[in-house]
């Protein structure tokens, strides 16, 4: 048996002086409640509070961070229980068999954030104190399976145990938000809010776009074939989402391009999009225009706007064909913000009642584009390191490259952006540790006074996020 | 009262061994005179030696590093005394009121280079030993205001106190250089030279380009509507600048693009530029051609050429409209050097009597493009980290990314590039400290011998700049 | 005399705790044999085992890493013995004179990897314990010259002394591989394999492309003017190379672009390429198509595919004109992989019997593109830091930016990629030291357990390369 220990000093600097300051800072933020202003957990968990199914269904089958790594080393997705689109299943779907394959390949995760998150969950949530190996796989499985049968491992209990102050999920405008309504009506004290993510009705290349826009019209009673009615329908759904707790919207376009076209051009683009005759460039223009429209609406309704650009979705055609979206084959691209956001910023850049939070998968933009933009425009703030960069090294690069120009106040602390419920405490813990490390190093190198670090640590851990997202 | 102290070890590595070497190196360079081969201070200060007006006029109103940060957090530029173009003023322009707003927002600068520079100036120039806060704002104001009334705080006295060996300012070809003449004729010993910055007459999109080129013709007696006369006029003004002490030219184009067109094409472009009928691409070609022409002239007259590309100027349309240029809304862009400089390098790349100093706002080019180019072409040298990257982390990235391929000898030490006179000693001090840190770390990790570090520290602090700029 | 010492702790972290772990790890890998799966040493050395000529011919004249730096500081290539294409020689070509110029300029290499490699070779191979200076130049020359006359400094003896387990060279499809045959037939135990590098017959812009393709036809008996015959000729030569030990191919295109065109289009492109009427874009399409064809053939014959894109070759026109290729004037460019490799990956991305090793000169792609691609596609692996980035800082950046997403298992350890035989042990030693440093830091910061680091150090030093390259 190889022990699994979580050092109290993990991720802190090796230098004893800096480590000591990091410890002091961390003491002050370790137990702060979790504010999770953006993520993809399933609201039905909190609405229904049904137990999680089994260890594989909890940790492997739905987590593309996990199975992409095994796939890259030759393990078929079928063997990991990833369901094909057509419902067929190539192999026996035994969760214990899946778990064993996972355990056997666990060394692949050495040096990755996934390993940090998993070990944290195994140890702190399930009380396991040996490392996951081929040999320990069954003991792991049995232990986790047993826990999941216990009341204290139901979603709401874990929500409370994780000390989540508030969590946001992300829904389509077509979603009736029944789970959010059920949570609200259940009398349970946990705060779960939604966020407005309109991809299915703003991206002409989304599966069934025209049908989605038609459904948007039905739901809102607007004629969404007209530009005016289409915008009104958005306004109506945003109001509904806001009513159901939403404080933000979220926009995941391939690029950060924005436009400011006249209504006649918009009507033409919408028409072609609905007719399915729009070409790639015009589809991009339509999405670009919608960024600006969403920003305008945010000025009116106060919803905080998030922009998550730069992912080449479903890069692996064969995998998309067989398994569908979000299967670990989304690859970051170079992203421009300076030219792309100019049309939008010309319209709303100097507003006082608007916050736009920018994310990136292209780290070269931290110091070159994003920090200078956020360090000037009053509407802009910088989101934390995202996706592949939500990692120890990624966080350090973000802090080292963005803060000198943007300052801390133009950032928004952390969000976990995850669908992996078990990883939430771990992800926030990694962020808090890296923040404390960064601040501690700044203190011992006399780039920051210690009282200032003591002030910034909780701000970065919780308060900036609450304020920026109006939570 | 919160103390303001400047640790003698600031910016040095936390590791005691490395810190100790850094201290030793720093002792050898701390008191070297300042060579400031490129910057934007106002020559009238040195010519007239009139006192600086008040604390706000000294530290806030003209410094876009300072007010962009407050603006990004919602403070209107009017409230900071930034003058609108049309001369109207929205609010009372009381310098103490401005100072108080600044003091109240001083925490925004935590972790930024501006904070390092300001604290350095407050402490070493004005002898202040408490931190700037809302509470201490008035004491700061009174102290600085009192100092500014004293003889010893006049520009020339500070120039001497700062131990500036030589400083370069930057002027348009249309500038008569009256202040430089006055300085020279005054008998004062301070060395202030100019530099040739021809944007107003080489950028077809510069305000009043045609008028500027006409004026250039008047000044030089050349027919600047002809390509030949236009070039002759440049030669004449360069000669005049050189006579007034200039050793360098400076070129701030949007990109690093160069061209090598034939004279007939050049005449056409000039004609369209003067007629105001030139399109964006041809304006870019004209600027590109002028880079090559300037390089050719440098081969003849020996002026060192600086290229500062890659800034999207005046990105915020509304701010430009109301306040004009240089208001903290210039945003870096991705910049290519490999293809862009090829036409110019094909003409002059292998010259022996030419130095071209390349700067960048796109740090991705340090290791990928700039160091390999400077590590091959005899005419190329690398300028220090520029603008947003003139910072602790920015300097480390430059040294870590450029030196391994370019070597130290293909760099040119430091230049402050500032219009903020008070920040000059602080900026050079930050550079010297980071250089000593970098060298010290190299020594303790056995990548460099200590005697070599002792040789390189003063070279990087002063000598490389003197030599490269022929000062 | 200035001593030349190689600290046993060089490149290890300054922090005593981390350094101690690094030492332990390094003990376990220091003496592992060298696996050199990709490089450019001359097979005639191993075939003929004739002595190296003189110190200048060994260290300076053929090494563009060395003379580019002197050239960048004004030393003419003629003075360094670099032979002009036309056979004329401007100056006396005395090796001792060349050596003295080199020695005089040795300080230029401070802080560069070249300095680390040279000092390592001087000290460990030639037993020199003083630094190379102008003063010590002749003693160096005499010592090295004397050694080279000794049996124990012949190529095969050094090969054995360096403990090279296997080394790959790189040859054109037109090469008869006579040296490889001679090595094999000589009975000598050293393992020297070739690699298939088809630039002369796949790049329409290669000197004498049509002649090369015709010669390919002669050698194989195929009609290489037809697309079908041209592909068959490749297959035949690959089989021959494989027979002569090759386990890999290597592709050095300007970009990573791939295509998947139909045979009729391919025939057209081939026709125009052979006729010399192909334009730049179609030449790029032809190369792009050939990447995909090579990948297809690798699925069949099992040769591991290497892609080395992103170098602007022969950037300095005048130098190319006078001296030809590979003269230190190759400059890296921005490189895209996400869109460029999509056509190829659509064809072979999910194969089980294929390994494609990706290299880059654009470090921004490590975290953004390459690690996510390799962390998903089963065919992809990441090559080590290449060329300018084969350096202390470059290796750290690679490990810090790629591993968190790709994991260690999707990398292939190290290859030296050098034509400088003397530098091979030094280069592998730098890699091993940096790996141990990286792992040690991960251990003391509790991001990796020590037993895992002990497992990874030899994998990264030798085993991953052996496995990935099937050696």
Nearest to B367 among C12, C108, C388 (CB): C388
DSSP-assigned letter for residue A205? T
Instruction: Give the model confidence (pLDDT) of B371-390 as tens digits.
Output: 999 999 999 999 999 999 99
Nearest to B108 among A342, A409, A448 (CB): A409
Instruction: Using DSSP, state whether A114 is helix, strand or coil.
Output: helix
Interface B-C, measured as beta-carbon pairs within 8 A, has a size of: 129
Distance of alpha carbon A178 from alpha carbon A43, whole angstroms: 9
Provide DSSP, C106-138: GGGGTTSHHHHHHHHIIIIIT---B---TTTHH
Distance of alpha carbon B157 from alpha carbon B160, whole angstroms: 5
DSSP-assigned letter for residue C447? S
Instruction: Give the model confidence (pLDDT) of A113-139 as tens digits.
Output: 999 999 999 999 999 999 999 999 999
Nearest to C369 among A107, A111, A331 (CB): A331
Local confidence band at B91 (pLDDT 50, 70, 90 cut-offs): low
Distances B394 to A403, B30, B401 between C-alpha atoms, Å: 11, 21, 10
Distance from CA of A41 to the nearest CA of B (A): 32
Residues of A in contact with C446 (CB under 8 A): 6-7, 9-11
Instruction: Give the model confidence (pLDDT) of B234-282 as tens digits.
Output: 999 999 999 999 999 999 999 999 999 999 999 999 999 999 999 999 9
Distance of alpha carbon A27 from alpha carbon A319, whole angstroms: 45
Q: Could you tell me which residues are beta bridge partners of residue C380?
A: C356
Supply the mean pLDDT for chain B. Answer: 97
Residues of B in contact with C66 (CB under 8 A): none
Instruction: Give the model confidence (pLDDT) of C212-252 as tens digits.
Output: 999 999 999 999 999 999 999 999 999 999 999 999 999 99
Which chains does chain A touch, 3 or more C-beta pairs < 8 A? B, C
Distances A385 to A424, A431, C210 between C-alpha atoms, Å: 15, 10, 51
The residue of chain A with its CA nearest to that of B312 is: A338
The residue of chain B with its CA nearest to that of C433 is: B445
Q: What is the pLDDT of residue A91?
A: 57
ipTM surpasses cut 0.95: yes
Answer yes or no: do B445 and C12 touch at CB < 8 A. yes
Nearest to C332 among B369, B380, B449 (CB): B369
**Joined tokens for residue A312:** 């080449």
Answer yes or no: do B11 and A451 touch at CB < 8 A. no
Residues of A in contact with C402 (CB under 8 A): none
Interface A-B, measured as beta-carbon pairs within 8 A, has a size of: 129
Distances A1 to A4, A131, A244, B319, C450 between C-alpha atoms, Å: 9, 7, 49, 65, 15
Provide DSSP, B122-155: IIIIT---B---TTTHHHHHHHHHHHHTSGGGSH
Given a cut of 80, whether residue B158 has pLDDT beyond it is yes
Distance of alpha carbon A180 from alpha carbon A188, whole angstroms: 12
Q: What is the pLDDT of residue B89?
A: 62
Q: In terms of C-beta density within 10 A (0-12 exposed, 13-18 middle, 19 or more buried), how is residue C13 classed?
A: buried
Strands A304-307 and A380-382: unpaired
Task: Label each residue of C57-100 as H, E or C.
Answer: HHHCCCCHHHHHHHHHCCCCHHHHCCCCCCCCCCCCCCHHHHHH
Residues of B in contact with A12 (CB under 8 A): none
Closest CA to A385 of A152, A105, A90, A113: A113
CB-based contacts of C408: which residues, under 8 Å, 6+ apart? A110, A111, C456, C459, C460, C464
CB C100 within 8 A of CB C60: no
Instruction: Using DSSP, state whether B382 is helix, strand or coil.
Output: strand
Instruction: Using DSSP, state whether B167 is helix, strand or coil.
Output: strand
pTM of the model: 0.98
The residue of chain B with its CA nearest to that of C316 is: B346
Distance from CA of C392 to the nearest CA of A (A): 18
Distance of alpha carbon B51 from alpha carbon B45, whole angstroms: 8
**Joined tokens for residue C233:** 């000729």
Phi, psi of C126 (to 5 degrees): -110, 0
Residues of B in contact with A447 (CB under 8 A): 10-11, 111, 116, 392
Q: What is the pLDDT of residue A87?
A: 75
Q: What is the pLDDT of residue B456?
A: 98
Closest CA to A144 of A51, A82, A61, A69: A51
CB-based contacts of B80: which residues, under 8 Å, 6+ apart? B60, B61, B67, B70, B71, B98, B101, B102
Q: What is the pLDDT of residue C87?
A: 75
Distance from CA of C151 to the nearest CA of B (A): 33
Residue with tokens 């593309």: A64
Answer yes or no: do B72 and A377 touch at CB < 8 A. yes
Local confidence band at B400 (pLDDT 50, 70, 90 cut-offs): very high
Supply the mean pLDDT for chain A. Answer: 97
Q: What is the pLDDT of residue A93?
A: 81
Mean pLDDT computed over B18-32: 98
Low-confidence ranges of chain C (pLDDT < 70): 88-92
**Joined tokens for residue A46:** 């909190």
Tens of pLDDT along chain A (471 residues) come to 899 999 999 999 999 999 999 999 999 999 999 999 999 999 999 999 999 999 999 999 999 999 999 999 999 999 999 999 887 665 558 999 999 999 999 999 999 999 999 999 999 999 999 999 999 999 999 999 999 999 999 999 999 999 999 999 999 999 999 999 999 999 999 999 999 999 999 999 999 999 999 999 999 999 999 999 999 999 999 999 999 999 999 999 999 999 999 999 999 999 999 999 999 999 999 999 999 999 999 999 999 999 999 999 999 999 999 999 999 999 999 999 999 999 999 999 999 999 999 999 999 999 999 999 999 999 999 999 999 999 999 999 999 999 999 999 999 999 999 999 999 999 999 999 999 999 999 999 999 999 999 999 999 999 999 999 999
């Amino acid at each position: 048996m190889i022990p699994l220990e979580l050092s109290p000093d993990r991720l802190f600097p090796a230098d004893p002086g800096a480590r000591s300051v990091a410890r002091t800072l961390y003491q002050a933020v370790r137990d702060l409640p979790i504010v999770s202003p953006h993520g993809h957990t399933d609201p039905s968990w909190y609405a229904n509070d049904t137990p999680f199914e089994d260890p594989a269904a909890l940790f492997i089958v739905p987590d593309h961070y996990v199975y992409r790594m095994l796939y890259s080393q030759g393990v078929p997705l079928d063997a990991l229980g990833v369901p094909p689109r057509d419902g067929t299943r190539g192999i026996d779907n035994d969760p214990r068999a899946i778990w064993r394959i996972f355990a056997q390949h666990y060394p692949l995760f050495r040096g990755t954030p996934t390993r940090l998150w998993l070990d944290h969950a195994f140890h702190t949530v399930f009380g396991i104190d040996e490392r996951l190996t081929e040999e320990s796989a069954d003991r792991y499985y049995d232990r986790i399976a047993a826990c999941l049968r216990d009341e204290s491992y139901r979603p709401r209990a874990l929500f409370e145990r994780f000390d989540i102050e508030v969590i946001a999920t992300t829904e389509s405008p077509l979603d009736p938000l029944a789970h959010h309504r059920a949570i609200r009506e259940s009398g349970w004290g946990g705060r779960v809010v939604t966020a407005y993510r309109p991809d299915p009705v703003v991206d002409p290349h989304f599966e069934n776009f025209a049908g989605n826009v038609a459904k948007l019209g039905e739901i809102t009673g607007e004629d969404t074939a007209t530009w005016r009615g289409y915008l009104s329908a958005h306004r109506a759904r945003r109001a509904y989402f806001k009513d159901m707790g939403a404080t933000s919207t979220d926009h995941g376009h391939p690029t950060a391009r924005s436009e400011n076209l006249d209504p006649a051009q918009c009507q033409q683009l919408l028409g072609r999009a609905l007719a399915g005759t729009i070409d790639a460039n015009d589809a991009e223009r339509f999405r670009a225009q919608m960024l600006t429209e969403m920003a305008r609406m945010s000025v009116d309704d106060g919803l905080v706007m998030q922009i998550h650009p730069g992912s080449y979705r479903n890069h692996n055609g064969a995998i998309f064909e067989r398994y569908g979206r979000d299967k670990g084959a989304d690859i970051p691209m170079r992203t421009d913000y300076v030219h792309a956001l100019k049309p939008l910023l010309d319209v709303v850049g100097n507003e006082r009642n608007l916050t736009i939070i920018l994310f990136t998968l292209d780290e070269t933009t931290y110091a070159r584009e994003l920090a200078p933009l956020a360090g000037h425009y009053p509407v802009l703030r910088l989101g934390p390191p995202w996706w592949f960069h939500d990692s120890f090294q990624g966080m350090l690069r973000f802090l080292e490259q963005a803060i000198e120009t943007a300052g801390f106040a133009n950032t928004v602390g952390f969000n976990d952006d995850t669908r992996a419920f078990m990883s939430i405490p771990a992800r926030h813990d990694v962020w808090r540790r890296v923040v404390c490390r960064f601040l501690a190093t700044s203190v011992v190198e006399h780039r920051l006074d210690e009282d200032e670090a003591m002030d910034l640590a909780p701000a970065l851990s919780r308060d900036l996020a609450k304020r920026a997202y109006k939570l």
